[in-house]
Amino acid sequence: MSTSDRIIPDRLQSSLQRRVKSWETLLLAVAIAIFVANSFASPYFLNAWNLSDATFNFTEKAMIAFAMALLIIAGEIDLSVASIIALASTAMGAALQAGAGTPVLILVGLGTGLLCGAFNGVLVTRMGLPSIVVTIGTMSLFRGISYIVLGDQAYRGYPSDFAFFGQGYVWWVISFEFVLFAIIAVIYGIILHKTNFGRAVYAIGNNPTGALFSGIRVQRVKFFLFLLTGLMSGIAAVCLTSRLGSTRPSIAFGWELAVVTMVVLGGVNILGGSGSIPGVVIAAFVMGLVTFGLGLLNVPGIVMSIVIGALLIGVIALPRIWAMWRDH
């Protein structure tokens, strides 16, 4: 056989084989299995309006999870996202008391989120502090400010047109929140998978020093990612406050766990360097279906917390257990 007849593949597997064996495909199969199980477990599950209500279980969290996915891929983390929601919602409530209309309320919510993200970003990128320590601190700080301002009180009386963002429907059972979730998913998918900025995020997560020597402005990219996480928390605050119709300092309490679980369940490496937006989208549906299914079966909220915690530990531990089993 001559050397001209030899074919040396540039990849060991075709793109179809890689997709079939990917984490996202497994997750999609799990989502379908949960959907089928829920439809058998409860006669109310397949009702169109019930399925529409199920989307409210994950849309706001998933919006934050997209930005969090980019941040974790870059090797950082933000545990203050739920507290940013509380502070942004409190700021919107204060603006409401001052007589602000819907456009101003939205600007206040988004602006507060951006400022909180910038504060985290400066502490991590300019001062060189570890993001996990910084965001644990700001988690207490931001929610603490909400408790000082509100105490055991609540802001109520939001305008009727403001309610559309959390309660409105675009067409039939398709809510505004679900449409917004879909649009944001597409935007983040393009940013991460189709742009130079996305490639820079992967490069930083894999080797920050190498990325720096390649000409990537590592600290600037990380700062921008903290800004994005803050902005998405602000958008989630607008939607959640609109849906609830009131602001309390305990709003979105414990959402950090759900958001991080969503990201890690979606196949994003908690240590950085790998992950995808389609994985996070499927993980959002999986978690939404699990919590909604348990809710229909009248399972208490604390059990749902146990399930989410077990999911997080299981997803991080499974690859390690699989590797150990394969080596033996």
Helix H segments across the chain? Answer: 15-20, 23-41, 48-55, 59-73, 81-97, 102-121, 131-150, 164-167, 176-194, 196-206, 208-213, 218-244, 255-265, 277-296, 301-327
Residue 255 contacts by C-beta under 8 Å, 6 or more apart in sequence? 61, 64, 81, 82, 85
Tokens of 290: 């699990």
Is domain 46-318 in CATH 1.10.3470, yes or no? yes
**Dihedral sign, Cα of residue 92, residue 96, residue 100, residue 106:** positive
Separation between Cα atoms, residue 291 and residue 147, nearest integer Å = 28
* pTM check: above 0.85: yes
Amino acid occupying residue 269: N
Amino acid occupying residue 41: A
328 residues of the chain, pLDDT tens digit each: 555 566 666 666 677 777 777 888 888 988 999 899 889 888 888 888 988 988 988 999 999 999 999 999 999 999 999 999 999 999 999 999 998 899 999 999 999 999 999 999 999 999 999 999 999 999 999 999 999 999 888 888 899 999 999 998 998 899 999 999 999 999 999 999 999 999 999 999 999 999 999 999 999 999 999 999 999 999 999 999 999 999 999 999 989 989 999 999 999 999 988 999 999 999 999 999 988 888 888 888 888 888 888 888 888 887 778 778 877 7
Spell out the domain ranges in the chain: 46-318
Separation between Cα atoms, residue 244 and residue 251, nearest integer Å = 9
Separation between Cα atoms, residue 247 and residue 237, nearest integer Å = 10
How many CB atoms are located within 10 Å of the residue 270 CB? 14
Residue position matching structure tokens 């997750």? 27
Q: What is the DSSP track for 166-182?
A: HH-EEETTEEHHHHHHH
Separation between Cα atoms, residue 29 and residue 170, nearest integer Å = 29
125, 225 Cβ separation under 8 angstroms: no
**What's the pLDDT score for residue 323?**
74
Kindly calculate the radius of gyration of the chain based on its CA atoms and give it in whole angstroms.
Answer: 21
Separation between Cα atoms, residue 80 and residue 117, nearest integer Å = 9
Tokens of 223: 């700062």
